[in-house]
């Protein structure tokens, strides 16, 4: 028989062995339920999009190339936001991809509504090529693919925004295509700045790949629609402040129409006054003198006495600043001269800044505005 001391020692050994087994056993990770609640009126279909393998996959499916229906292609037919499926902080580039997805909804909706509104005959009667609407469908399909790509780039810890309602020129096919040209060329300017934002090189490369596709859309419009030389000089215009370009698209969003769960668009933004040229402007070619128009009466610039302000112009890789006289504004219009040094190709971006060259985003006080040199007759149409 064992004495009490031996019994205690043996029991202690057993207990320690059991504890050691418990410590060494692999533990299952239990994820907390995500802290969101999907509104009851939202379609359950939208949450299926949280799975990146759900539906046609861009690069694997010809859905994004050869779909010729009028109905919305996937995923443009599912318009609710996609709620997070995991808890935790946003991924490093989530804000950038959220901005890009919100902007892509603008582009997709523009093409989708054009396909729904205009017929082949509408474009043919306007003197446009017989395949115009088919090309617009093809671009619409590409943009649907972009929607899905951008949704999948946002981490499962962040919301993936849905579309708002937008105001597009849908009363005339020529005006519609003119607006398309402004959108596409402005997209190129926007993407040259956006590619600077991601922290990961793979995301920068993805944005360059998207920009190459947008460039093809732009080239088609210049060649087939406007019968213009599509070459825009040795380089597209590099504009560093992508969110400032994005903010200008708020002018075509119907106020109060965005899903309330959508994140701020763009994030962050400065709510800069919109900048345009006066309505009687005849030319925006290099060397032209133009009167400025700040188009939103509820958001006007504030020019402080004693500070010199500048009109800053971006074209290609160049940046030229010209001092402007703001002393008598708003009683007297502000006139600027578009730098005569610029070539008559591509696009110019203009803004007002309190520092020559607008070296940081917070030195910009109004704008930007996009000026087209091609097609020349669309030049006065500023975004």
Residue 352 in contact with residue 309, Cβ under 8 Å?
Answer: yes
Residue 289 in contact with residue 315, Cβ under 8 Å?
Answer: no
Q: Is the pLDDT of residue 5 over 70?
A: no
242 in helix, strand or coil?
A: helix
Q: Is the pLDDT of residue 14 over 60?
A: no
Listing DSSP states for 319-352 in one string gives: EEEEEE--TTTTTS--EEE--TTS-SSSEEEEEE
Q: Is the pLDDT of residue 30 over 50?
A: no
What is the distance of C-alpha 292 from the center of its chain? 26
Beta strands in 131-262 (DSSP E): none
Segment 6-17 shows an average pLDDT of 42
The predicted pLDDT at position 156 comes to 97
Q: What is the CA radius of gyration of the chain?
A: 27
Name residues whose C-beta falls within 8 Å of residue 364's C-beta, 6 or more positions apart in sequence.
241, 244, 270, 272, 312, 351, 352, 353, 358
Q: Tell me the domain boundaries of the chain.
A: 44-252, 276-378
Work out the pLDDT band at 248, boundaries 50, 70, 90: very high
Work out the pLDDT band at 15, boundaries 50, 70, 90: very low
Architecture of domain 276-378: Sandwich (2.60)
Cα dihedral 284, 285, 290, 293, rounded to 10, equals 20
The predicted pLDDT at position 313 comes to 97
């Amino acid at each position: 028989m064992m004495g009490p001391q031996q019994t205690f020692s043996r029991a202690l050994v057993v207990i320690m062995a059991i504890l050691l087994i418990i410590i060494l056993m692999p533990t299952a990770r239990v994820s907390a339920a995500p802290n969101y609640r999907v509104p009851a009126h939202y379609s359950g279909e939208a949450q299926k999009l949280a799975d990146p393998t759900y539906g046609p996959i861009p690069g694997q499916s010809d859905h994004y190339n050869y779909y010729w229906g009028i109905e919305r292609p996937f995923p443009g037919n599912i318009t609710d936001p996609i709620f997070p499926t995991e808890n935790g902080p946003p991924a490093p580039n989530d804000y950038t991809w959220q901005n890009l997805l919100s902007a892509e909804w603008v582009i997709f909706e523009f093409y989708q509504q054009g396909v729904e509104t205009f017929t082949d005959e509408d474009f043919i009667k306007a003197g446009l090529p017989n395949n115009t609407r088919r090309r617009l469908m093809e671009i619409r399909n590409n943009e649907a693919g972009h929607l899905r790509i951008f949704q999948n780039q946002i981490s499962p810890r962040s919301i993936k925004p849905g579309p708002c309602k937008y105001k597009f020129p849908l009363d005339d096919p020529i005006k519609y295509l003119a607006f398309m040209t402004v959108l596409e060329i402005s997209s190129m300017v926007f993407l040259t700045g956006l590619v600077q934002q991601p922290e990961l090189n793979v995301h920068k490369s993805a944005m360059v790949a998207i920009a190459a596709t947008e460039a093809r859309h732009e080239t088609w419009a210049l060649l087939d629609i406007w019968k213009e030389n599509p070459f825009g000089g040795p380089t597209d215009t590099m504009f560093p402040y992508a969110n400032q370009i994005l903010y200008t698209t708020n002018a075509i969003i119907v106020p109060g129409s965005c899903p309330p769960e959508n994140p701020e668009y763009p994030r962050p933004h400065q709510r800069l006054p919109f900048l345009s040229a006066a309505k009687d402007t005849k030319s925006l070619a290099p060397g032209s003198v133009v009167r400025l128009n700040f188009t939103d009466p509820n958001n006007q610039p504030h020019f402080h006495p004693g500070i010199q302000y500048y009109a800053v112009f971006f074209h290609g890789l160049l940046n030229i600043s010209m001092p402007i006289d703001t002393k008598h504004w708003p009683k007297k219009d502000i006139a600027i001269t578009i730098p005569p040094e610029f070539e008559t190709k591509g696009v110019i971006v203009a803004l007002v800044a309190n520092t020559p060259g607008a070296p940081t985003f917070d030195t910009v006080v109004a704008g930007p505005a996009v000026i087209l040199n091609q097609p020349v007759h669309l030049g006065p149409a500023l975004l």
